[in-house]
């Protein structure tokens, strides 16, 4: 747990030092996630809401970046035949991601984009905490003049007795990150073939 707080502290310090570049490098999105918790042959769903902050660490081109991302979620598991109890669930992943195309940087040039990454995740399942490797991939796209992200993530618990999970998320990008896109006429150009 100490390593989690160390990584978080380093990320915050780096963020404060890069205050001038923050608007060009930081974005966040929010959305709905559906998890499938699995242990041995048992599978049970969790419904959650989340927010995903992303900070681009390196963006050498307009359609490419390497970023720190943390798709945070809080949700609830309702009673099922497989797991007979209701409990709260949270997920705190700390990951690196490679982005190409849509939303790779503030100056992206494509109406679509892909990403892939991995890292470490801490999950609260009821009153128990578990941790393990988290891998993620997905794509980003324009729809109804808004920027959406569809993400799949796979969590592998360190302890075989804990739950592993599959996660599917649909997010919409919020904030000022896309403010200049419309003014540079990119949004109209990307939307035109789909209107």
Looking at the domain assignment, is residue 15 inside a domain? no
**Is residue 104 over pLDDT 50?**
yes
Residue bearing the bigger pLDDT, 177 or 46: 46
> 80 lies in which domain range?
30-194
In a domain? residue 17: no
- Is 89 within the bounds of a domain? yes
Lowest pLDDT segment from 21-30, 46-55, 162-171: 21-30
Residue 3 lies in a domain: no
pLDDT of residue 31: 95
pLDDT band at 182 (very low <50, low <70, confident <90, very high): low
Task: Identify the CATH number of the domain in which residue 119 sits.
Answer: 2.40.160.20
Long-range contacts of 157-160 (CB under 8 A, 24+ apart): 157/123, 157/130, 157/131, 157/132, 158/130, 158/131, 158/132, 158/133, 159/130, 159/132
Read off the pTM: 0.80
66-97 tens-digit pLDDT: 999 999 999 999 888 877 888 999 999 999 99
The answer to whether residue 180 sits within a structural domain is yes
Is 1 within a domain?
no
Counted domains in the chain:
1
Residue 2 belongs to a domain: no
Higher pLDDT, 9 or 108: 108
Domain assignment present for residue 65? The answer is yes
Residue 117 to residue 101: CA distance in whole angstroms: 15
């Amino acid at each position: 747990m100490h390593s989690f707080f160390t990584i978080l502290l380093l990320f915050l310090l780096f963020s404060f030092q890069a205050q001038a570049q923050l608007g060009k490098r930081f974005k966040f999105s929010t959305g709905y996630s559906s998890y499938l918790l699995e242990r041995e042959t048992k599978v049970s769903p969790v419904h959650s809401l989340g927010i995903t902050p992303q900070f681009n660490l390196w963006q050498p081109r307009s359609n490419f970046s390497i970023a720190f991302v943390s798709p945070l979620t809080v949700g609830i598991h309702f009673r099922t035949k497989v797991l007979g109890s209701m409990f709260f669930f949270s997920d705190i992943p700390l990951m690196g991601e490679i982005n190409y195309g849509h939303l790779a940087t503030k100056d992206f040039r494509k109406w679509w984009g892909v990403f892939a990454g991995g890292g470490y995740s801490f999950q609260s399942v009821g009153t128990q905490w578990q941790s393990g490797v988290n891998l993620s991939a997905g794509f980003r796209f324009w729809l109804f003049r808004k920027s959406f992200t569809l993400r799949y993530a796979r969590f592998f618990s360190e302890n075989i007795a804990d739950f592993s999970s599959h996660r599917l998320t649909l997010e919409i990008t919020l904030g000022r990150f896309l403010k200049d896109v419309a003014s540079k006429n990119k949004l109209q150009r990307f939307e035109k073939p789909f209107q």
